């Protein structure tokens, strides 16, 4: 489905002389864009239906904005990415009542996440290779955004606003996916050497 839609979009862009070369790159980018739009739409629909619109919005924003700079594990297929993205949000909805942390525990979780982001970001994969200048920019953006998210999370907690739970959940998930990509890279490297 994604390839079909991307192909049709490319054909339209070519007929309008908007693109003339690098067809494969444009097609790949359009497939990713369609996949991301489907992910966002599904989460927002679920949020609307289950009366957790703001949680859905926060989840989408954290993943779209922070993950752009931190990187992290992604599934091989679009369907895998969409399924995982929706499943993680579903897991939050099931378990959100258990995410009521004390301020001290929340601070410890935030420090661990900050450490992961400072140490690992940006996580590169085969689909995303950054030059040295881009790595520095992405690293700085990752740290800046993570500090803003941490402060927001603490403020929401101190104000007894339950939205801090989706914030810390999404924030933690980004860190876990960063570690996951690093682990997969190490496994692939070991398999390649052997």
How high is the mean pLDDT of the chain? Answer: 88
Which bin fits 167, alpha (ψ -120 to 50), beta or left (φ > 0)? alpha
pTM, whole model, 2 decimals?
A: 0.84
| Residue 76 scores a pLDDT above 70 | yes
CB-neighbour burial class of residue 95 (10 A; exposed 0-12, middle 13-18, buried 19+): exposed
What burial class does residue 77 get, using C-beta atoms within 10 Å of its C-beta: 0-12 exposed, 13-18 middle, 19+ buried? exposed
d(CA 173, CA 72): 10
Question: Between 43 and 75, where is the model more confident?
Answer: 43
| Separation between Cα atoms, residue 66 and residue 64, nearest integer Å | 6
pLDDT band at 71 (very low <50, low <70, confident <90, very high): confident
Q: Averaged over 30-40, what is the pLDDT?
A: 89
Nearest to 39 by CA among 9, 79, 66: 79
How far apart CA 121 and CA 143 sit, in angstroms, is: 8
Instruction: Between 21 and 159, name the one with better pLDDT.
Output: 159
């Amino acid at each position: 489905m994604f390839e079909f839609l991307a192909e049709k979009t490319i054909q339209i862009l070519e007929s309008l002389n908007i693109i003339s070369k690098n067809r494969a790159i444009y097609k790949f980018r359009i497939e990713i864009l369609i996949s991301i739009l489907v992910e966002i739409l599904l989460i927002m629909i679920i949020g609307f239906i289950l009366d957790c619109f703001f949680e859905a919005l926060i989840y989408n924003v954290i993943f779209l904005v922070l993950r752009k700079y931190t990187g992290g594990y992604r599934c091989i297929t679009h369907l895998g990415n969409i399924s995982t993205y929706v499943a993680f949000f579903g897991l939050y909805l099931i378990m959100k009542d258990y995410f009521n942390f004390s301020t001290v525990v929340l601070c410890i979780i935030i420090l661990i996440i900050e450490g992961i982001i400072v140490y690992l970001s940006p996580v590169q994969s085969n689909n995303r290779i950054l030059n040295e200048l881009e790595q520095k920019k992405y690293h700085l953006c990752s740290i800046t955004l993570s500090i803003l998210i941490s402060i927001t999370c603490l403020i929401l907690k101190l104000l007894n606003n339950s939205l801090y739970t989706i914030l810390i959940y999404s924030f933690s998930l980004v860190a876990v996916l960063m570690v996951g990509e690093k682990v997969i890279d190490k496994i692939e490297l070991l398999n390649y050497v052997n």
